[in-house]
Every structure is written in C-alpha cells, then in structure tokens.
Amino acid sequence: MESSLLHSPYLSSTSFSRISLLRLPPLPSISTTTSTLRPISSSFRPPPLSISTPKFSKPFLFSPQKPPPHAATNDNTTPSTSEPTATTITQRGAKVIPLIISVSIGLIVRFLVPKPPDVTPQGWQLLSIFLSTIAGLVFSPLPVGAWAFMGLTVSILTKTLPFTTAFSAFTNEVIWLIVISFFFARGFVKTGLGDRIATYFVKWLGKSTLGLSYGLTLSEALIAPAMPSTTARAGGVFLPIIKSLSLSAGSKPGDPSARKLGSYLIQSQFQSAGSSSALFLTAAAQNLLCLKLAEELGLVIATPWVSWFKAASLPAFVSLIATPLVLYKLYPPETKDTPEAPAMATKKLELMGPVTKNEWVMVGTMLLAVSLWVFGDALGIPSVVAAMLGLSILLLLGVLDWDDCLSEKSAWDTLAWFAVLVGMAGQLTNLGIVSWMSNCVAKVLQSLSLSWPAAFGVLQAAYFFIHYLFASQIGHVGALYSAFLAMHLASGVPSVLAALALAYNTNLFGALTHYSSGQAALYFGAGYVDLPDVFKFGFIMALINALIWGIVGTFWWKLLGLY
C-alpha cells in the first residue's frame, strides 16, 4: 500500500515527509470489526464476517478505512457478539489508590472538619458526598458514570437525600437536550453529511491544523447570536464536524491516535465556546437570565443587546484569537501541516457526487431544529422539544433507527453522571451550602475594607472558581448571581460593570471541568480528551481568560465609560 502512494497524482516528492496522513481507500468487499492480527488461543472464536457494500465505494480523505456507520460511536467500538480475544485486558473493579483518596476527602470533610453553625447536618453531609464524588471524577477509581452512580447511592443510603429528590435531575431538559444531541451527531456521521461538511472545511482551511481550529472557532462566533444555546451548537453543529475531521485523519477517540488531531480540536473548540457565548446577549440562555436577575435588583441596562455586545466585543475577540494559538503551543496536535489536503478534498468532493436523500433529510431536520431553537420561545416550543421533534423525524424517515440510539453508549453514560451531578449541585443550593459560602465571602471582604477595584477582582474570582461545585451554568446563575451582584454593589463597584462582568464569567467558566456545562459534557463524552487534561487546561485557560478579560476589558470598559 505504501508503494502505491508514490504514484498518486496529488503528491510531490517534497510532500513525502507527510505521507502518513494520506492513505488509499480500502477495497469495499469485506469488513470486519477489526483489522489487526491477534494470536489464536483455544478460547478464541473469530467473529463472523459480514458483507458490506454501499458505504465503502468512495475514497476518503485521510484514513485508511472509513468506519462503517454502526462503528462511528464515541468510544470507537462496534457492536459485536464475538468473545474477547486472548490479548484483551479488561480493568475489573476499582483502582485502590484513587478509591482511597476519593473516599478519604469526603470522610475528612464529614467527620474531621467542624460543621459551621449556619449549615444543617444534612447540607454538610451532602457537601462531603459531593466533594468525594468530584474527587473520584478527577482520580478515576471507576469510570465516570459508575462513580457518579455510587455517589448517588451513598446519598440515598445515608438518607441524605430521598430517592425521588436524588433522581429528580434525570428529568432536566438540558440533560435530555445533550442526550439527543449525541444522536444528531451520530446522524451526521451515519449519513455521510459530516464527512461532506468536514471535507469543505479541509478544502478551505485544511493546509494546517491551526487553520482548521480558527475556522471552527470563528464559525461558532458567527452563528452564536442566532443559535442561543452553546450546548445545541456543540452537539448539533461542531462536534459532528470535529469527529468527522478527526476520524478522517485517523484520530480515534479513546485511542493513542486521539492526539493526532481530535484532542486538540476538541480542546480548542471547547475553550473558545465560552467567549463566543459571551460575545452576544442572545448566544446563551444564561445571558438573558443574568440581565433579568439584575433587573430584579433595580438595575436596568439601556439597549441591552447593543450594550452587551459593545462591552464584550474587544476582550471576546482577543480571547477567540488567542485560545487556538495558546492551546496549539500547550497541547499541540501531532498532525500540524497538511498542505496537500485542499487538492485531495476537492477530488474527494467530486467523487462523493451529489448529496444523498438521507443527507438532505439530515440537513432539513437540522435547519428545522435550529430554527426552533432560535424562535422557539416566541412559538412556545422549548429547545428540548425541538430536539425531540428532530430526532423523531430522523427515526420516522429511517435516517436513524432505534438500534443507533441504543448503541450510542456515550449518550446514556452522560445522562447518568451529568444528572447525578446536576441533582447534587441543586440540592446543595436548596440546603443553603451555596448561600453559606457567599456569606462567608461577603464577611471577609467587609473585614478587609477593600477598595472597589480590589473587591471587584476578589468577587469575580470567587464567583468564577466556585463553579467547581456546580454542574450547570443556569443553576449557578440562579443560585449566586443575585447574591454576588448585591455584594458588588455593596462594595461600591459600578452597577453596569458588575452586572456585565458577572454575566460574562458565567459563560467563561463553562469550560472549567467536564461537568461545568452542557457543552462540557458533550465534548468530554466524545472521548478525545482524558479527564486530567480537562481539569488541567480548564484551569490554565481560566487564568489566561482572566488576564485577557481583566487587562483588555479594563482598558476597554474605561474607554466605554463603564467606570
């Protein structure tokens, strides 16, 4: 196969150093669930061969083999009845050291740290369980969903939460929007629409991985004001494109090849999404909620859409430009240059032929869903109902079948762990833990007699990093925005500056962790980024964004007369 590439009309002698990016398509006749050789043992039974005809008749841009539609799952597995081979090594049970560390954190808080008098025993106990759950998500004694389920079990077993309260978040609309977004992403891959869109991106911007990242980042910024859900943009538009680009480049989730392309593109898009959401008032639902809560405190911002955009424009643009480049240096992709890609993409588009019926159905369904996401409030149609309608159309017309949905394991895994964290975070608010923390901050600021700029910095940082305790941006706003805005005003911070800065931070902290927002769950669920890297770069980019918005924003807001 390698020697046949030497005769490709799309390669020159100077480009041979990048030959690993380019492969000829496989023959279409026979496909199996694996292409690697394995030793034969007495317990091994080879999987049955299956004849596959329609999907392998076209050449693909970067990969030696396009996975069949049923294989394009987030964990890169294929449903199969074959038994494990002799070389398969399965992790069974919990990892001892991470288990001890995670459990110890909760026990220390529960039994060794004195309970504050303003906190109820139930609230303190739930806080200890929540902290132990979060620690387990970091140290990973078990898979994410399994550990979250254990935390939920402990909260019920210790009678910290009743059963119905503990499981109440499983009816949360945002969580189900995330789940359905996974199915939309599967539709993009299965129909080939994702490959087609990805090929256009490669054609226009494919000379470098950095160029691809900038194209995706700026595209989200352009559509953000018309699509007021960061989660919907991630699940319905950008995650499918990134997955298609990555798979085409031979970058697979849950595999060492993830670092080729997918890991970087996921991280860059994930970290840039906050600035895109902060740029426009209508780019995210929490933005409107922030201004509504500010109005309840008597602060009305004139011409809110224009005022919001003017104040956010310069720091948001700087952040959008800086983020892909910073991550390119700190978290570099293995594949950096693909100078032959545009010509290959053009050739591939010719070979793909016209758009198929299923692709048109997918396009129409997504346009309908996006339109309802944009205008749904005026029509009385919630975002999750629009997503349900879109999924129903795909099922009725045969673009997806129910087996596709059942085999999308990442969607159901996300439903489990994200609902657990959202439920716990909501109960922490209801039991007064979050209010207690806010009151502690206010008392400290009063005792220090800080000037308003110093108080502004401290309060903004506290509001930002306390999001480690939240699994929802909307929940964070509902619990803390009014309290922190009141503390700002009491400290003498100019009112409009305080209200807008808190609202901007509400978008930026959506990339702190894998549970900090709906889009965080989606991007992490794609399987391209390891959990420690999510926390590491979430914190690093939080500091970088703080510098950008703090320095650029301070200059810009002074120029605009906000203080």
pLDDT band at 198 (very low <50, low <70, confident <90, very high): low
Identify the sign of the CA torsion 512, 516, 521, 525. positive
Query: What per-residue confidence (pLDDT) applies to 422?
Result: 79
Query: What per-residue confidence (pLDDT) applies to 231?
Result: 86
Task: Read off the amino acid at residue 338.
Answer: T
Query: What per-residue confidence (pLDDT) applies to 539?
Result: 96
> What single string gives the DSSP state of each residue in 427-442?
HHHHTTHHHHHHHHHH
Half-sphere exposure of 428 (CA within 13 A, CB side): 31
Query: What per-residue confidence (pLDDT) applies to 54?
Result: 37
89 against 414, higher pLDDT: 414
Residue 126, pLDDT above cutoff 60: yes
Q: How big is the chain, counted in residues?
A: 563
* pTM over 0.75, yes/no: no
Query: What per-residue confidence (pLDDT) applies to 248?
Result: 79
Question: Percent of the chain scored above 90 by pLDDT?
Answer: 40
Q: What is the pLDDT of residues 434-480, one digit of tens each?
A: 778 767 877 777 788 888 999 999 999 999 999 998 887 887 887 78
Query: What per-residue confidence (pLDDT) applies to 51?
Result: 35
Q: Find the mean pLDDT for residues 364-385.
A: 82
pLDDT band at 387 (very low <50, low <70, confident <90, very high): confident
Query: What per-residue confidence (pLDDT) applies to 266?
Result: 96
Which class for 489: exposed (0-12), middle (13-18), buried (19 or more C-beta within 10 A)? Answer: middle
Average per-residue pLDDT for the chain? 80
Q: For the chain, what is the radius of gyration of the CA atoms? A: 25
Q: Which residues of 64-74 are buried (b: 16+ CB within 10 A; e: fewer)?
A: eebbbbbbbbb
Q: What is the pLDDT of residues 326-347, one digit of tens each?
A: 999 999 999 887 676 677 778 8
Q: Which of 118, 545, 38, 65 is nearest to 327 (CA)?
A: 545
- Across 62-76, 232-246, 258-272, 335-349, least confident range: 62-76
Q: Find the mean pLDDT for residues 124-148.
A: 89
Q: What is the pLDDT of residues 353-365, one digit of tens each?
A: 889 999 999 989 9
Residue 48, pLDDT above cutoff 60: no
Residue 319, pLDDT above cutoff 50: yes
Question: Percent of the chain scored above 70 by pLDDT?
Answer: 81
Residue 368, pLDDT above cutoff 80: yes
Q: What is the pLDDT of residues 221-244, one digit of tens each?
A: 888 886 767 887 888 788 888 887
Query: What per-residue confidence (pLDDT) applies to 438?
Result: 67
Tell me how far apart the alpha carbons of residues 252 and 258 are, in angstroms, rounded to a whole number: 5
